[in-house]
Amino acid sequence: MFGPLFLFELRSHFRRPVTWLYVAIVFFMAFFAISTESFLTGQVLGKVKKNSPYSLTQIYGILLAVGQIITSALVGTTVLRDYDAGVHEILFSTRITRGAYLGAKFLGALLAMLLVFAALPVGALVGTVMPWVDASTLQAINVWHYVQPYLLIGVPGVFFISAMLFSVGSLTRSSFSVYVAGILLLVGYAVAGNLVRQLDYDQLANLVDPFGMRSVDLVTRYWTPVEKNSTTLPVMGFVGQNRLLWSALGALMLAAAFRFVRLEKHATVGARKKQKEDTEQFAPPVSSRTMSRSYEPTPAFAGWWSVARFHTQSLLRSTPFLAIATIGFINVLMNAWYADSNGQNRSWPMSWLMAEASISGASLFMIVLLTFYAGELVWRERQVKLDQVLDASPVQSGSVLAGKFAAMIALMLAFGTASMLGSMAVQVLKGYPHIDLPVYALYVYLTDFPGWITMTAIAFFVQSLVPRKAIGYVVVILVWVLNTVTTNLGYDYRLLQLGTAPAFRWSDLNGTGPYLAAFPAVQGFNLCLALLFLCLTYLVWQRGTELAAFGVRVRRWFSSGTVWVAAGSTAGLAAAGGVFYYNASVVNTYWTREEGEQAAVAYEQTWRQYETLTPPKVTAIAIDVDFEPTAGRARVGSRFTMVNLASVPIDTVLVNVASDAPGLGVILDTLLFDRPFSVVKSDEVWGVRLVRLATPLMPGDSVHLRSVQHFRTQGYPNGQPDRSLVANGTFFNRDKFPTFFYNNQNELQSDELRRKYKLPLQRRGLPRTDSLGLSRQSFLADAAAATFEATVSTDPDQIAMAPGYLQREWRENGRRYFQYRMDTPIDNFFSVLSARWTVTKSQWQNVSIEVYHHPTHTFNVPRMIEASKASLEFFSREFGPYQHRQLRILEFPRYAGFAQSFPNTVPYSEDIGFVARVDSTDVEDTDLPYFVTAHEIAHQWFPYQRMPADVEGAQMLSESLSEYAALVITERAHGRSFTQKFLRTELETYLRGRAGERKGERPLTRVDLQSYIWYQKGSLALFALRDLIGEPALHKALRDYLAEGRFGGPPYATTLDLMRHINAATPDSLRYAIDDYFETITLWDVKTDSVTATKLPNGEYRVTVVGTASKLRADSLGTETPAPLNDYIDVGVLAEPKVGARIGEPLAMRKVKVTGSAVRAEFIVKSLPARGGIDPYNLLIDRNPGDNTRDVKAN
């Protein structure tokens, strides 16, 4: 019986048009993922080709997860269809056995499903050959690359999901359970992923993922582009284990279904209960007044209230609803629990942090709830066949619709509120019970919730329009997908996104800042849109058993008050939209992504020709800034003296002034040179002027520039507003003042985009001997040693701050004035800030240490001061004296997350250090405030004491050296085991960084674009070198490097200068390390196979460490070639780690010269070590940093 039944199943699947619809959906999703830009991922892939095995695997994995809704529809309901059609009783009375029936059903559906998903490789393949696809994003077609991920990821995935949904469907006989199970699978995936990501267990993360995406990520995380392009996923290892587990789980669920599914008809509970009542007598008819009096039709409000209440109760009694809401709530709690950690460092659970966690944790569930229960509510009566009774009752359709809508909103509001309260509870549990209710309410109710109302109304509308609920689900999900896709494609106009949320970011310093202004328009738009959709829903709302002609219904409804509500909401929509449009597109300028790209292209095409123009150097700076922070106004006056330090006359000067930023209007009031000049070319968009001096500036000659610009906040933009001028925490960086060179930061960066606009690939860093490059500083081409003075005024309750020393402070016209002057030359790099700060002061020798912070952000101020003292002390001793008499740390709002060093002044974001919660018992913690403070102070030496030239490797001279110096300081505070934690993290970041490299990796000394090289590899390399040649030798080299050119230039410093000193300090036997770490891309792979300890008669232990080592050289794309080993590598045994450390104190450690692949070392130690291994401190750039040490096995 099995054969014919199976064939019948298969045929019937392919006779149903909907199956072909599924095939088409899968095909086109794969097709568009390959043939269009950023349809799926929203990002370009750099050197990784779109049709590489890696990319195809990603695409398949995502589409498999998205496509589970298809599996729900096709497989999950396959048994149910027999029940629904009522043929089950006939079928089961034939000779078919249960096994044959279920087997045929399942295999038929599985095969159909596999064929549906076979459209993935086909769609991808067809997409690849489309003529419009940028050929440089593709590689030669290898059909196996298309097929292998389908077989490895697709087939087991389809099997598991099909088996699961088939089992659920046939066991519960409820299609709703099938959909809920499908959703719970996705949700479980997200939740489990969230959990294991925090716990950092690779194997667990690998196994809890039914789609195999994390397995792929684990395997490929350090793969270079070459590997991603050429290598299919290995079956053995993470991926194979994962696929095996889930296939087995699928088989298990099938077995359960085969064992437990009953084919006979439902025996209802009620049938059994009936017996009892049959013996009871009927009550006499009731003839009370209530039975005879007649009633008016229900008032609209009472009907609405009853419907709302009834359906709220009904949903609250529904198990699937409670299940989803409960899982959602748990997800929110977990999200909140881990919100204070970035995986490494933690912060205090501030209210805004928890509120953001609450809404982000709830959002997926909001979407799930509203998508599913909008369908459920709209179709409820038709589903249970109560529609005729309801429709024949006198309740108004509007009351029913509005009541159901209100029930949905009430439950979502309850869910959002529960999430918020849960997050508050987490905040309290985490020991920071300062709950800021308005902040929570602002995030949850004002920012987040109105968008859900709109989306719910849209879901209601769709469900009222479609002929079946399942179609409604598909349409609603498509609407959400399209909503995301349009943003990915660069059409991010806020009003085009359904259920958009206004931009918002709370700052303790600046409160709601510039954000609330857009709320009325955006949320008004949302609510009016919701109302309009409700009106439309009302127009198409079905009442009665047949669909009246559309025209008839429209005429009928328009005779009622609907027309007024619809007109009102349309007017409201137009008004809110108009206000938004006026602000975002009239007062401010809106660019689509493409327009933004075109503007960048225009900049480059117009101005790049002036890149080689020699700028005069700024030698005297006097700025005169008047902030009116609360009024949103500022006047910036600059007086620069510029000297021609070149050997040729300068007759043309490129002048950049500040130009309009989102929400910030800028007017150029004055731009005057003290000699005749004319503006040859002008660019308002980018704020560029090409100025021709009537008489050229001769070498050594100087010219004065005076400029005045007015800034004023204006309206609000579509996206994030510029937040430099705010009520509390104004931060005018260098870009608000004139500069005099072509800015290649404005160019399009990615190779893909540059090809798209037929631009040459972007210039990489200049060679280190390039004379133009050597004559310029890497930060600012116009910079040279300059005098600096600033007069800054602000509101009377604020402090205004600029580099230099306070000369005078006074009040005038109700404003507060500060005058600063720097007593040593600086390099044209400065910023001006103003805020209401509390000042905490300390002193190191003659240096005043001052932290300007928000009154309540006192958590880490002492730690910052401590770090400052330690840094000043150590750096002065090791690298040379500190050039200033003061060090100021200034907190600014969390609109940016950096700290930045200016001469004697360090603006420091609210976000990164001020609310950090240092916990040295945490094995991941790297003491962020201490480290960052030390890093920024190190910048006062590197680069401010010797500025790098504008050539490749410049960032090594500032960032790598500062990162290293800061790590040394932090190690002095925390010990060597801390450094291991830090370097291990640095190593992983470096490996991930190079895996995502898009332009080609460079060796450290020639780094030009990649922060993962200049920070992570930089600190690793210098630290490893310190270990090899010793701290005194290395620091002498650094000291000599500074001394050689302190405050000098041009020519400015290059890594050639630094390496000259480092080479001099390195014995020949260790020079290989300089090649490996600094001059090439070298990777090691050491692995400890065993660490065995034998107790000796004298009570000591002989410990033997056995392992392997290898070394590779990589080129810029990651192609690797083996390199000979002749290296000194640490081998050692260590004590039990202390709390908060990964490794313990070394009991024995020595550098072993490794020349072959085998590593073996023996130690005699007094006590039994806990761990041992090769390179325990993670000083090698090791492709697999996790297997360096092992627990000791005692014999």
Partner 1 sequence: MSLRIERITKTYPNGVRALNDISLSIAPGMFGLLGPNGAGKSSLMRTIATLQQPDSGSIHFRDIDVLREPEKLRAQLGYLPQEFGLYPNMPADAILDHFATLKGVVNPGERKDLVGALLQQVNLYDVRKKSVGGYSGGMKQRLGIAIALAGSPKLLIVDEPTAGLDPTERNRFLNLLADIGEDVVVILSTHIVEDVRELCSQMAIINKGQVVVQGEPERIIDEVRGRIWRRTIPRAQADEYKQRYQVISTRMAAGNTVLHVYAESDPGDGFVQVEPDLEDVYFHRLAEVSGGRVPVEA
Which part of the chain contacts partner 1 (CB under 8 A), choosing from 43-51, 393-401, 466-474, 865-873? 393-401
DSSP state of 784: E
Tell me: does residue 606 bind partner 1 (CB under 8 A).
Answer: no
Tell me: does residue 267 bind partner 1 (CB under 8 A).
Answer: no
Nearer to partner 1 (CB atom), residue 316 or residue 565: 316
- List CB contacts of 410: < 8 A, sequence separation 6 or more: 308, 312
User: Total number of residues binding partner 1 (CB under 8 A)?
Assistant: 54
Task: Work out how close the CB of 146 gets to partner 1 at its nearest, in angstroms, rounded to a whole number.
Answer: 47
Tokens for 921, please give them: 């018992």
Tell me: does residue 467 bind partner 1 (CB under 8 A).
Answer: no
Among 384, 612, 761, 812, binds partner 1 (CB under 8 A): 384
Tell me: does residue 1011 bind partner 1 (CB under 8 A).
Answer: no
Tell me: does residue 812 bind partner 1 (CB under 8 A).
Answer: no
Tell me: does residue 758 bind partner 1 (CB under 8 A).
Answer: no
Among 43, 203, 313, 326, binds partner 1 (CB under 8 A): 313
Task: Work out how close the CB of 399 gets to partner 1 at its nearest, in angstroms, rounded to a whole number.
Answer: 8
- List CB contacts of 106: < 8 A, sequence separation 6 or more: 75, 78, 162, 163, 166, 254, 257
Which part of the chain contacts partner 1 (CB under 8 A), choosing from 190-198, 310-318, 588-596, 847-855? 310-318
Tell me: does residue 306 bind partner 1 (CB under 8 A).
Answer: yes
Which part of the chain contacts partner 1 (CB under 8 A), choosing from 224-232, 274-282, 792-800, 1090-1098? 274-282
**Count H helices, E strands: the chain?**
41, 26
3-state secondary structure at position 842: strand
- CA–CA distance, 858 with 855 (Å, rounded to integer): 7
Tell me: does residue 38 bind partner 1 (CB under 8 A).
Answer: no
Whether residue 721 contacts residue 588, with contact meaning beta carbons closer than 8 Å, is answered with no
Whether residue 818 contacts residue 793, with contact meaning beta carbons closer than 8 Å, is answered with yes
- List CB contacts of 285: < 8 A, sequence separation 6 or more: none
Tell me: does residue 132 bind partner 1 (CB under 8 A).
Answer: no
Tell me: does residue 7 bind partner 1 (CB under 8 A).
Answer: no
- List CB contacts of 1097: < 8 A, sequence separation 6 or more: none
Residues 284-303 that bind partner 1 (CB under 8 A): 284-286, 288, 290-299, 302-303
Tell me: does residue 140 bind partner 1 (CB under 8 A).
Answer: no
Among 140, 267, 283, 761, binds partner 1 (CB under 8 A): 283
Task: Work out how close the CB of 535 gets to partner 1 at its nearest, in angstroms, rounded to a whole number.
Answer: 19
Which part of the chain contacts partner 1 (CB under 8 A), choosing from 5-13, 326-334, 379-387, 1078-1086? 379-387
Over the window 676 to 695, marking each residue x when it contacts partner 1 by CB under 8 A and - when it does not, the resulting string is --------------------
Tell me: does residue 390 bind partner 1 (CB under 8 A).
Answer: yes
Which part of the chain contacts partner 1 (CB under 8 A), choosing from 270-278, 838-846, 1143-1151, 1178-1186? 270-278
The alpha carbon dihedral of 967, 970, 975, 981 has a sign of negative
Whether residue 885 contacts residue 805, with contact meaning beta carbons closer than 8 Å, is answered with yes
Task: Work out how close the CB of 1085 gets to partner 1 at its nearest, in angstroms, rounded to a whole number.
Answer: 60
Among 389, 813, 1067, 1097, binds partner 1 (CB under 8 A): 389
Tell me: does residue 1098 bind partner 1 (CB under 8 A).
Answer: no
Tell me: does residue 559 bind partner 1 (CB under 8 A).
Answer: no
Phi/psi of residue 520, nearest 5 degrees: -55, -45
Residue 402: alpha-carbon gap to chain centroid: 38
- CA–CA distance, 211 with 217 (Å, rounded to integer): 12
Over the window 524 to 553, marking each residue x when it contacts partner 1 by CB under 8 A and - when it does not, the resulting string is -------------------xxxx-x-----
Task: Work out how close the CB of 385 gets to partner 1 at its nearest, in angstroms, rounded to a whole number.
Answer: 4
Whether residue 784 contacts residue 620, with contact meaning beta carbons closer than 8 Å, is answered with no
Task: Work out how close the CB of 83 gets to partner 1 at its nearest, in angstroms, rounded to a whole number.
Answer: 15
Tell me: does residue 317 bind partner 1 (CB under 8 A).
Answer: yes
- Residue positions counted in the chain: 1195
Which part of the chain contacts partner 1 (CB under 8 A), choosing from 277-285, 356-364, 817-825, 995-1003? 277-285
Whether residue 989 contacts residue 1016, with contact meaning beta carbons closer than 8 Å, is answered with yes
- CA–CA distance, 230 with 142 (Å, rounded to integer): 10
Residue 408: alpha-carbon gap to chain centroid: 31
Mark out the alpha helices in 264-350 (DSSP H runs): 269-278, 289-292, 300-316, 319-338
Tell me: does residue 279 bind partner 1 (CB under 8 A).
Answer: no
Which part of the chain contacts partner 1 (CB under 8 A), choosing from 280-288, 427-435, 592-600, 705-713? 280-288
Task: Work out how close the CB of 267 gets to partner 1 at its nearest, in angstroms, rounded to a whole number.
Answer: 11
Task: Work out how close the CB of 284 gets to partner 1 at its nearest, in angstroms, rounded to a whole number.
Answer: 8
Tokens for 1073, please give them: 């390390």
Tell me: does residue 992 bind partner 1 (CB under 8 A).
Answer: no
Tell me: does residue 173 bind partner 1 (CB under 8 A).
Answer: no
3-state secondary structure at position 14: helix
- List CB contacts of 17: < 8 A, sequence separation 6 or more: none
Task: Work out how close the CB of 293 gets to partner 1 at its nearest, in angstroms, rounded to a whole number.
Answer: 6
Tell me: does residue 277 bind partner 1 (CB under 8 A).
Answer: yes
- CA–CA distance, 1029 with 1046 (Å, rounded to integer): 24
Which part of the chain contacts partner 1 (CB under 8 A), choosing from 119-127, 190-198, 304-312, 641-649? 304-312
Task: Work out how close the CB of 438 gets to partner 1 at its nearest, in angstroms, rounded to a whole number.
Answer: 37
Whether residue 188 contacts residue 161, with contact meaning beta carbons closer than 8 Å, is answered with no
Burial class (CB within 10 angstroms; exposed 0-12, middle 13-18, buried 19+) of 761? exposed
Among 11, 262, 265, 274, binds partner 1 (CB under 8 A): 274
Whether residue 1089 contacts residue 1174, with contact meaning beta carbons closer than 8 Å, is answered with no
Among 203, 326, 342, 388, binds partner 1 (CB under 8 A): 388
Whether residue 1107 contacts residue 1132, with contact meaning beta carbons closer than 8 Å, is answered with no
Over the window 874 to 893, marking each residue x when it contacts partner 1 by CB under 8 A and - when it does not, the resulting string is --------------------
Tell me: does residue 99 bind partner 1 (CB under 8 A).
Answer: no
Whether residue 825 contacts residue 658, with contact meaning beta carbons closer than 8 Å, is answered with no
Which part of the chain contacts partner 1 (CB under 8 A), choosing from 5-13, 272-280, 587-595, 659-667? 272-280
Over the window 318 to 357, marking each residue x when it contacts partner 1 by CB under 8 A and - when it does not, the resulting string is x---------------------------------------
Beta carbons within 10 angstroms of residue 547's beta carbon: 12
Phi/psi of residue 152, nearest 5 degrees: -85, -40
- Side chain identity at 497, as an amino acid letter? Q
Nearer to partner 1 (CB atom), residue 278 or residue 1068: 278
Among 55, 206, 232, 396, binds partner 1 (CB under 8 A): 396
Tell me: does residue 266 bind partner 1 (CB under 8 A).
Answer: no
Tell me: does residue 394 bind partner 1 (CB under 8 A).
Answer: yes
Tell me: does residue 268 bind partner 1 (CB under 8 A).
Answer: yes
Whether residue 542 contacts residue 400, with contact meaning beta carbons closer than 8 Å, is answered with no
Task: Work out how close the CB of 456 gets to partner 1 at its nearest, in angstroms, rounded to a whole number.
Answer: 21
Nearest to 1049 by CA among 561, 479, 491, 645: 645
Instruction: Tell me which residue has tokens 């509001």.
Output: 413
**Where are the strands (E) in 940-1097, listed by range?**
1081-1095
- List CB contacts of 930: < 8 A, sequence separation 6 or more: 863, 864, 866, 867, 918, 969, 970, 973
Instruction: Tell me which residue has tokens 């309540």.
Output: 856
Dmax over CA atoms of the chain, in Å, equals: 117
- CA–CA distance, 521 with 578 (Å, rounded to integer): 8
Catalog residues that contact partner 1 under the rule CB under 8 A: 268-271, 273-274, 277-278, 280, 282-286, 288, 290-299, 302-303, 305-307, 309-310, 313-314, 317-318, 380, 384-386, 388-396, 543-546, 548
